[in-house]
Amino acid sequence: MNPNQYLFEKFSNLLNEEFSQTINEYDEGRHLTIGDTGFWISLDDKELIIGFGLNHTHYNFDYDSMEDAIDTFFLLLTKRKKITDYSKGLKIFKTKVEIEVDNEELINLGTTATFPLQFWKRSESKISYVNEFLKTEKITEQWKELINYAQQRTEVKNNTLLR
């Protein structure tokens, strides 16, 4: 089983344990959402994709860090999200999603944008928040287990490359 499949399975199991009543499965179980919260994960043959709303990150473990994927997944579940919508008139043309971590530090998950059709109108922004879905303490052990797995995989990969 490749790393993206392994992590997706572990993430899926955790989501089904914690949110069994609100999990939606699509694409034969390869795309999961937590109700209408905006949180989702998806799997394809080469990548694990973790997203919130339209903002998402693709993780291909031939190039990307497994630890980053694990951290993003757990941060989205356990931290408050700040969503900034930028509009001109009544049309939103850009949305920025940030994850609040300790000391009000923000990690930018991503920004999606379109060309503002009403470009002559004044830009306005509206900030909203989505609270954490789970308490950090509740899933710390799962996080540690997966980080350990990622570190072991990295060591094996590095040792193979050195030969």
pLDDT tens-digit series, residues 77-100: 999 999 999 999 888 999 999 999
Residues 6+ apart with CB under 8 A from 86: 92, 93, 94, 95, 96, 123, 124, 125
The kind and range of the H/E element at 97 are strand 91-101
Residues 6+ apart with CB under 8 A from 9: 1
Tokens standing for residue 147: 């980080």
Q: What pLDDT score was predicted for residue 63? A: 86
Per the listing, tokens 């473990």 go with 61
Q: What pLDDT score was predicted for residue 1? A: 78
d(CA 17, CA 150): 22
High-pLDDT (> 90) share of the chain, %: 66
